[in-house]
Amino acid sequence: MSESEPTTDGDVSREVAQRVFAGEFNDASYTFKESDDDRAPVYLLLPTGEHANRVFIVGTLTETEDVGEDNEYWRGRIVDPTGTFFVYAGQYQPDAASTLREAEPPAYVAVVGKPRTYETDDGDINVSVRPESITEVDAATRDRWVVETADRTLDRIAAFDDAGNEYARMAGEQYGDDLSRYTQTVVDGLETLESTDELAVQSPTNADGGAADSDDTAGDAVDAADPSPQP
Amino acid sequence: MTELRTHAAEIAEQFSDHVDVTEDEVETKLQQLVEEYQVPVDEAKRSVRNSYLEEAGIDRDDISGDGNERALVNDIDEDEQWVDLRVKLVDLWDPRSDSISQVGLLGDESGTIKFVAFETSELEQLDEGQCYELSNVVTDEYQGTYSVKLNRTTTITAIDEEIEVGDNSETVEGALVDVQSGSGLIKRCPKEGCTRVLQNGRCAEHGEVDGEFDLRIKAVLDDGHEVQDVIFNREATESLTGIELAEAKQLAKDALDTSVVADEMRADILGRYYTVTGPTLGRYVLANEFEQHDGPADAESVLIKARSI
């Protein structure tokens, strides 16, 4: 235990990176703090009832563009099976900005970053990611992220009605409590993976007594499989 | 549960074998002392305990340890629990405060944990290397790290056995979301017994020294529920990144900058999924073994879970 240099770089209560699909992330708009301190972390409230000060996303970088005027300000579009994340990196995120500058889309990338919201002139709230890091990864890592994110999203949906789930209560007030579209988001995400191709073939009809026709109420199962376009 | 209720539950549990006592009754007594007479909680607990000792006609020692669980040190994961330990005194440190009688490291087969004994508890002194049964110690937590406090009610029994001390080995899994400063090509103090990492060529203990190069990575694994700091030593760093010390030195030399090594390593490991196994050291897991997850994840079971919602 001779190693005793100060660990000033380690923020003791580092915020967990939430796993969230673009389809859910882009629906979020409400941000809040849990203390009055100026430096208190800002959280984005996710519709499935979780607070996110940091996210971890993996997807396909499809496009990069320098949208800055005086200084470089790079925008990247990162696509997952359910939608598109927008990441913006400028002079204060030099590593991420240079990764975007040098990237050659399409490429699988992993991003650790902070959710940011922006109000447009029309009064809409846009949500984006300010990256702490962007790295190029392989397809296996992307697939693993899709499965993990699906699993975490389902966990949030399952816990939504739990007594004492404060963030779910907030989410219900801000976004409503119909989560069926996020269950659908999860199914959509998983079905894009090759390993689930066989299951995916069954899904549109959902007819041959697969797992969805379990002991759950028929109504829910129908909702989850509803192929109608999302609003 | 209120704080008083917790204390009441603890006391009721301690005396449950000896006298007829309910949590409510204990709580009422505590409440009266604390709220009505403004007695400090610790003193109130002591007073209530004494009243039951008298009622039951027993000694304090007879109740010590009652209802406690024999715990392994590496399993301790909750604050303010009363536990019994069977441990070896691995190491004694110099107390930093006059109120502390002894401080150091206790170990059992599961690993090691810090302990503190206070002067006010008036306990017998423990000897390094000796094994003990300790009844009635209290767990404590500081920034996610657990320790145990010996106290006035702790009983210490030296035992004539040898305990093999384990290494607090843990396995953690997650995405590698951060590589922290102090990673990559570093310099350590060359003085004997000192391996401190130099900051700008200076050792915190020995001042300006001619450091020796080493490799390491301080990283954060995040599984979406919690974060865990991990350290890869030189050997693990070389096998994780494929960059060996000689190559790292060359990279740094070419760039006239050591930070390029960490940058190179970041690009190789950030955003990937790993499982890491090794002993814990403070808030770190030392990566003795690790594995990158590059196989397919089990999508079907998650799909089934989705369809059952």
Judgement on whether residues B39 and B82 belong to the same structural domain of the protein: no
Q: What is the pLDDT of residue B45?
A: 86
Show residues of chain B in contact with A5, CB under 8 Å: 182, 196-197, 199, 204
Interface of A with B in 79-138 (CB under 8 A): 95, 109-112, 132-133, 135-138
Is residue B57 domain-resident?
A: yes
**Mean pLDDT value across residues B203-216:** 92
B141–chain A Cβ distance below 8 A for any pair: no
**Rounded to a whole number, what is the distance in Å from the CA of A166 to chain B's nearest CA?**
17
Q: What is the rounded end-to-end Cα distance, in angstroms, of chain A?
A: 58
Q: Residue B40: its pLDDT value, please? A: 83
Question: Helix, strand or coil for residue B16?
Answer: coil
pLDDT lower than 50: segments of chain A: 1-11, 197-231
**Checking DSSP bridges between strand A83-89 and strand A74-80, what pairing results, if any?**
antiparallel
Query: Do B85 and B58 reside in the same domain of the chain?
Result: no
Q: Which residues of A touch B294 (CB under 8 A)?
A: 138, 140-141
C-alpha dihedral (B92, B96, B98, B103), degrees to nearest 10: -30
Note whether residue B165 is domain-resident. Answer: no
Which member of A10, A154, A191 has the closest CB to residue B309?
A154
Q: Give residue B99's domain range.
A: 69-159
Chain B residue with minimal CA distance to A154?
B306
What are B1-24's pLDDT values in tens digits?
A: 577 887 888 888 777 777 788 889
Interface probe with B: pick from A3, A24, A138, most Cβ of B within 10 Å: A3
Does residue B190 belong to any structural domain of this protein?
no
Query: Could you tell me if B239 and B254 lie in one domain?
Result: yes
pLDDT (mean) for B178-191? 94
CA distances from B38 to B24, B42, B43, B44 (A): 19, 12, 10, 9
Contact residues, chain B, for A1 at CB < 8 Å:
281
Which residues of chain B have a CB within 8 Å of the CB of A132? Answer: 178
For residue B287, is pLDDT > 80?
yes
Pick among B178, B292, B302 to test the A interface (most A CBs inside 10 A): B302
If you average pLDDT over residues B253-261, what whole number do you get? 93
Shortest CB distance from B299 goes to which of A5, A195, A211?
A195
* B290 close to B232: Cβ distance less than 8 angstroms: yes
Q: Which chain B residues touch A143 with a CB distance below 8 Å?
A: 296-297, 299
B154 and B181, same domain (yes or no): no
**CA atoms of A99 and A108, how far apart (whole Å):** 12
Q: What is the pLDDT of residue B192?
A: 86
In the stretch 57-76 of chain B, residues with CB closer than 8 A to chain A read none
For A141, the closest of B271, B299, B302 (CB atoms) is B271
Q: DSSP assignment of chain A, as one string?
A: -------TTS-TTPPP-B---HHHHTT---EEESSS-TTSPEEEEETTTEEES-EEEEEEEEEEEE--SSS--EEEEEEETTEEEEEEE-TTSHHHHHHHHH--SSEEEEEEEEEEEEE-TTSPEEEEEEEEEEEE--HHHHHHHHHHHHHHHHHHHHTTT-TT-HHHHHHHHHH-S--HHHHHHHHHHHHTSGGGHHHHHHTTT--S--GGGSSS-HHHHHHHH--SPP-
Contact flag A187-B307 (C-beta cutoff 8 Å): yes
CA B233 to chain A, closest CA, distance in angstroms equals 12
Residue of chain B whose alpha carbon sits nearest to that of A8: B181
Per-residue model confidence as pLDDT tens digits over A183-216: 998 998 898 886 554 444 444 444 444 444 444 4
The verdict on A140 touching B (C-beta cutoff 8 Å) is yes
Closest in B177, B197, B296 to A56, CB measured: B177
B270: nearest CB among A133, A152, A191: A133
Point out which residues pair with B231 in neighbouring strands. Answer: B218, B286
Q: Write down the pLDDT at residue B90.
A: 93
Answer yes or no: do A111 and B181 touch at CB < 8 A: no
Residues B222 and B266 both lie in one domain: yes
Helix axis angle for A180-191 and A139-158, nearest 10°, is 160
Domain boundaries, chain A: 16-192
Q: Are B241 and B285 contained in the same domain? A: yes
Q: Are residues A109 and B199, on separate chains, in Cβ contact within 8 Å?
A: no
B147: domain CATH number is 2.40.50.140
Distance from the Cα of residue B105 to its chain's centroid:
11
Residue B131 pLDDT level (bands cut at 50, 70, 90): very high
Answer whether B299 sits within 8 Å of A138, measured CB to CB.
Answer: no
Structure tokens at A121: 């002139």
Number of domains in chain B: 3
Q: Is residue B231 within 8 Å of residue B284, measured between CB atoms? A: yes
Specify the pairing of strand B69-70 against strand A83-89. Answer: unpaired
B residues 170-199 closer than 8 Å to A (CB) = 175, 177-178, 180-182, 193-197, 199
Q: What is the pLDDT of residue B89?
A: 95
Q: Name the closest residue on chain B to residue A220, using Cα atoms.
A: B309
Report if residue B164 sits inside a domain. Answer: no
Which stretches of chain B are DSSP H helices? 3-15, 23-31, 41-56, 60-63, 234-241, 245-255, 259-269, 299-307
Sort out which chain B residues have CB atoms less than 8 A from A56's CB and list them.
175, 177, 222, 224, 271
* Residues B175 and B277 both lie in one domain: yes
| In CATH, A16-192 is 2.60.40.420 | no
The whole-angstrom distance between B99's CA and the closest CA on chain A is: 24
Search chain A and give the residue with CA nearest B280: A1
Residue A31 near residue A43 (C-beta atoms within 8 A)? yes
Which of A143, A218, A221 has its CA nearest to residue A183? A221
List, for residues B29-56, the tens digit of each pLDDT value.
999 888 888 888 888 888 888 888 888 7
* Domain match, B37 and B80 both: no
Work out the average pLDDT over B224-249. Answer: 95
Query: For chain B, what is the largest distance between any 2 Cα atoms, rounded to a whole number of angstroms?
Result: 80
Predicted local confidence at residue A213, as pLDDT = 40
Mean pLDDT of chain B: 89
Using CA atoms, how far apart are residues B168 and B186, in angstroms rounded to an integer?
Answer: 27
d(CA B251, CA B306): 48
In a domain, B256, yes or no: yes
Choosing from B63, B78, B96, the residue where a domain stops is B63
Q: Residues B140-168: pLDDT tens digits?
A: 998 878 999 999 888 899 999 889 888 77
- The amino acid occupying position A160 is F
The answer to whether residue B244 is domain-embedded is yes
The pLDDT assigned to A142 comes to 94
Both B235 and B282 in one domain: the answer is yes
pLDDT tier at B214 (50, 70, 90 boundaries)? very high
Average pLDDT over residues B61-73: 66
pLDDT at position A65, please? Answer: 95
ipTM value: 0.79
Least CB-CB distance to A187: which of B218, B266, B303? Answer: B303
Q: In whole angstroms, how far apart are CA A47 and each of A81, A146, A180?
A: 18, 18, 11
Residue ranges of B 249-308 with Cβ closer than 8 A to chain A: 263, 266-267, 270-273, 281, 283, 293-300, 302-308
Partner residue facing A196 (CB), from B271, B293, B299:
B299
- Amino acid symbol at B42: D
Nearest-by-CA chain A residue for B270: A135
- Give residue B69's pLDDT band: very low, low, confident or very high (50, 70, 90): confident
Same domain, B174 and B268: yes
